[in-house]
Structure 1
Amino acid sequence: MIIKTTLFVLLFSLFVPAQLFPQKTSEDYLGSWYTLGINHRFTEKISVTTYAELRFYEPISNYNLIFTSLSGNYHLKQNKTLSIAYAYLDIDSVFDEDNRPNTTENRIYEQYNYKHKLGAFNVQHRFRLEQRFLQLADKNELQNRLRYRFSLKYNINKTLFLGIKEEPFINFQDQAFHENRFFIGAGFHLFKHTQLQMDYLKHHIRKKNFNRIQIGISILTDYRKSKSHVNQQKLH
């Protein structure tokens, strides 16, 4: 009896349509984004930002993409900045393991950043125009898009803060409104120039919806203060 039952279960699993047991897709998993950004401030007008981002389809496995960038920033005023940057991406767009080559991207973007206060909130507007040089499996392609990110930050105390970000994308090719990102989370000022932020991200892209956790570290190195400190030492 046991042998017959075992054979029946085995045959059932082999011949019953797979649709009765749907496989999970990338949308069913809680993925992760890990980021590191370092801003090097050299003068009142000039700074350089280095940035790296690693994404997974799952919390710590199933590689999605790596993003690295270098941007030069010109500070018009304390709250207004112009930037130009280069970025490189290696993208695995398949959820499971596959033998297809990854998509690589060389990206150039121009950016304007504006900050101001709104009551107890710190507000930030970021406008970014991107030129994306994509190397796909069968062709090379140039895509252009515009991104606008609106951010609100509320400081609970000197250590803890809350934040919300909304970022729609406008694609200049086929589907115009093809992507949107919504972040909500909290951050901690670990040290004077270092902060840790943890966000929940709802990522909509090309009719798919992903749930992601983003953990990021931001560091500021300010050489203006170091230079001023050296000059003061010389004066004494």
Structure 2
Amino acid sequence: MKKILTIFLILLVSTTLKAQNTTEDYLGSWYTLGLSHQFTEHFSLMPYAELRFYEPSSNYNLTFLSLNANYHIKNSQTLTLAVAYLDIDSYLGNDNTPNTIEHRIMEQYSKKHKFGSLNIQHRLRVEQRFLKYTDRNELQHRFRYRLSLKYPLNKTLFLGLTEEPFVNFQDQVFHENRFYIAIGFNLLKHTQLQMGYMKHHIRKNNLNRIQVGISIQTDSRKPKKLL
């Protein structure tokens, strides 16, 4: 187990250092916070926030805020309807161009299962994107599929890996892909911290990002009575 953790950390550090020598000069960052609350067996809400920078802690890029309403068909399958607001600065450094504003509607289906100790999740999402540029408004549509793998090393540590291609219904069909590898920590009973590296291909850009995320899950369901 210690060998697996050591190999993972070496891979993460070496990939991060190498990323600074590619055509993308800046090693950016994504900071995320997800709060999930289970109200009933079938219904939960998840507010989510994301802050992106072109550099580790400066040079603002994007704010993402969303609210996800989830209907749990079974313990392993979930339907989601979500809305989101984005404030996007597409220019590196200081500029006088107003940011792009996006309002987004998302429909989603997710399914999870296990293969031995490996936790697997499939997520299929359709998005309607209402974009407000400085000179025009646009409505865009796209489809996303995300495969997530999670492997526990012990009660505290786990490894995570995700692969997510995007299909755009407008020009440049295969315009985006995200590959992410991370190490996670179960800080408390309902709180997790993940830190990892993302290779983000978007249009003709090849971006390298460090992502740090906290997720908190709470539950207000009453304990089931034993008969």
Shorter chain as normaliser: what TM range?
Answer: 0.7 to 0.9
Answer yes or no: is 1:186 the counterpart of 2:187. no
Query: Which residue in 1 is equivalent to 2:207?
Result: 210
Query: Which residue in 1 is equivalent to 2:113?
Result: 116
Q: Tell me, which stretches of 5 or more residues in structure 1 are unaligned?
A: 1-23
Query: Which residue in 2 is equivalent to 1:20?
Result: none
Query: Which residue in 1 is equivalent to 2:16?
Result: none
SS of equivalent residue, structure 2 residue 223:
helix
Question: CA offset at residue 25 of structure 1?
Answer: 10
SS of equivalent residue, structure 1 residue 182:
strand
Query: Which residue in 2 is equivalent to 1:228?
Result: 223
> In the aligned structure 2, how far is the partner of 1:197 from the partner of 1:79?
22
Question: Retained in 2: the 8 A contact 1:25–1:95?
Answer: no
Answer yes or no: is 1:143 the counterpart of 2:140. yes
Question: Retained in 1: the 8 A contact 2:44–2:71?
Answer: yes
Query: Which residue in 1 is equivalent to 2:30?
Result: 33
Question: Retained in 2: the 8 A contact 1:194–1:220?
Answer: yes
Question: Retained in 1: the 8 A contact 2:23–2:206?
Answer: no
Equivalent residue for 1:93, pick from 90, 98, 106: 90
Q: State, as a whole percentage, how many aligned pairs show the same letter.
A: 67
Query: Which residue in 2 is equivalent to 1:6?
Result: none
Question: CA offset at residue 26 of structure 1?
Answer: 8.6
> In the aligned structure 2, how far is the partner of 1:128 from the partner of 1:199?
23
Question: Retained in 2: the 8 A contact 1:48–1:71?
Answer: yes
Cα offsets for 1:86-138 (capped at 9, x unmatched): 00000000001100100000000000010000122100000000000000010
Q: Tell me, which stretches of 5 or more residues in structure 2 are unaligned?
A: 1-20
> In the aligned structure 1, how far is the partner of 2:59 from the partner of 2:86?
16
> In the aligned structure 1, how far is the partner of 2:72 from the partner of 2:153?
28
Tell me the TM-score normalised to structure 1 length.
0.85
Question: Retained in 1: the 8 A contact 2:142–2:166?
Answer: yes
Question: CA offset at residue 201 of structure 1?
Answer: 0.2
Q: What amino acid sits opposite 2:143 in the alignment?
A: L
Question: CA offset at residue 212 of structure 1?
Answer: 0.3
> In the aligned structure 2, how far is the partner of 1:48 from the partner of 1:163?
23
Relative to structure 1, the CA distance from residue 108 to residue 228 in structure 2 (aligned partners, 3 Å threshold; closer, same or farther) is same
> In the aligned structure 2, how far is the partner of 1:70 from the partner of 1:26?
35
Question: CA offset at residue 185 of structure 1?
Answer: 1.0
Question: Retained in 2: the 8 A contact 1:108–1:130?
Answer: yes
Relative to structure 1, the CA distance from residue 85 to residue 25 in structure 2 (aligned partners, 3 Å threshold; closer, same or farther) is same
Query: Which residue in 2 is equivalent to 1:80?
Result: 77
Whichever of the two has the greater Rg, that structure is 1
> In the aligned structure 2, how far is the partner of 1:46 from the partner of 1:185?
29
Question: Retained in 2: the 8 A contact 1:26–1:95?
Answer: no
Q: What amino acid sits opposite 1:150 in the alignment?
A: L
SS of equivalent residue, structure 1 residue 175:
coil
Tell me the TM-score normalised to structure 2 length.
0.88
Query: Which residue in 2 is equivalent to 1:168?
Result: 165
Answer yes or no: is 1:104 the counterpart of 2:101. yes
Query: Which residue in 2 is equivalent to 1:63?
Result: 60
> 1 or 2, which has the higher helix percentage?
1
> In the aligned structure 2, how far is the partner of 1:82 from the partner of 1:192?
25
